[in-house]
Amino acid sequence: MFIASLLGNNNYNYMNQVATILEPNATIQGQNGANLGVLSQETLKYCLYARKSTESEERQVLSIDSQIKEMLDLATRENLNITEIRRESHSAKEVGQRQVFNELVADIKLGKFNAILTWAPDRISRNAGDLGAIVDLIDQGILKEIRTFSQRFTNNPNEKFLLMILGSQAKLENDNRGVNVKRGLRTRCEMGLWVGPAPLGYLNQNRMDKKCQVIVDPLRAPAIKQIFEKVAYEKYSGRKLYHWLKHELNFYTRGNKSITLSGIYRILDNTFYYGVFERPKGSGNWYQGKHKPLITQDLFEKAKAQLKRDNIQRESKEFAFTKLITCGCCGSGISAEDKYKPLKDGTTAHYIYYGCSRARDRFCKNKYIREEELIAELLKIIDKVDMNELGILTRMEMEVERLNKFQNMVLGEKQPNKKHKPAVDMRVYARYVLKEGSSVEKRELLANLRSKIILKDKKLLLINS
């Protein structure tokens, strides 16, 4: 053939390229008519792999749809057999993190594909581990070819070397990009410019030179200033601020959402509002911002000192019936608190009161109830409760067994082995636990209750859940 006659004896690589346009088992002749042998053409089964990183827009590369369109046009022009198209939106910086890529490698080992069609080598890998896996498949002869828009790579030393260089270059670009981004962010901070979305009360200024600084949000900045003033001068707590912002001020964030309690505490802890900021957080690197402060440092310190007094660590105490009862007025949980009253004889009376936590309704009018009254209400509803539901029989058997062990081991009294269940009224035992049991025993008793306990106007109701 004419094309074959143009080939030299050493142009084996080009011989492979023209093999796709020759008939199978065609005889190739050199320049002097020498027979170069029979060239066997193996059908290549391509998998078109398109990838875009999710960590950036990657404006220097085509999007996934554009990659697929370009490679399909290439396959049409060169009559390539594309078996399947796979796409993935995932960074290739780390080894083994791409699910679609891992499945592609596994399918190549199974013989489903023996060639890859992709836009560029860096679409396959930007790390040494995944690149090594691909080159290893080529060395084993399992992967016959990698075809890109402008290059092809086969089991040829020079082509494999070039593939590894291009993959290493992509990794170098990734590494340098991270270093350059950090340097750029550090430079911006040194210039007094905030990095990232502006804190609540400020707005990001969109300018082409990208040297913009945040500007004061005229809609929300006054409320931010009032937050600090109310804590510093009016001794507002975080929860009181939350209700004030939500119900009285009708305050919304830039995303048109109500501010959260944790968001309020983040505001009160942010030094940015009086002009300085730390970057990264906890690094000790402080910068003087060019933005307009909303408050003074003195006001910030006063609010912070008030919060410290407000957040005094108190002794943690688990009350017997908290988290087990629901407010019948607003649906909030029932909390408890200790109250101490000095008596005329010099002693102090201790009371425990249960009442609505007001988590859902700050102005809930449900009445408080003392623990003794609450236990009396629980005793009234014991007759309405299924004893098997409370699991009392099992617990009672355990108590009897514990008592027998105590008598045997401590008192030395031998107890006869009784395999039958104790003849004890389970309701009597339940009342005993509610009256005389520890807080843990009371909680365990009611924790098995599938019915919902509602407290309303100092009365308990059972509702089947």
State yes or no: pLDDT of 2 exceeds 60: no
Which two structure tokens, joined as six digits, stand for 459?
């009365």
For the stretch 108-117, pLDDT in tens is 999 899 999 9
How many angstroms separate the CA atoms of 245 and 259, rounded? Answer: 8
Residue with token string 């080939």: 7
pLDDT band at 388; cut points 50, 70, 90: low
For the stretch 21-34, pLDDT in tens is 334 444 444 444 44
State yes or no: pLDDT of 427 exceeds 80: no
Of 331, 441, 325, give the one whose Cα is nearest residue 373: 325
How many angstroms separate the CA atoms of 222 and 216, rounded? Answer: 10
Mean pLDDT of 214-229: 94
Mean pLDDT of 287-311: 89
How many angstroms separate the CA atoms of 60 and 70, rounded? Answer: 15
Handedness of CA 228, 233, 237, 242 (dihedral sign): negative
Q: What is the dihedral of CA 440, 446, 450, 454, to 10 degrees?
A: -120
What pTM was estimated for this model as a whole?
A: 0.46
How many angstroms separate the CA atoms of 154 and 146, rounded? Answer: 7
State yes or no: pLDDT of 440 exceeds 60: yes
For the stretch 75-87, pLDDT in tens is 999 899 998 999 8
Give Dmax (Cα) for the chain. Answer: 127
Which two structure tokens, joined as six digits, stand for 251?
């305050």
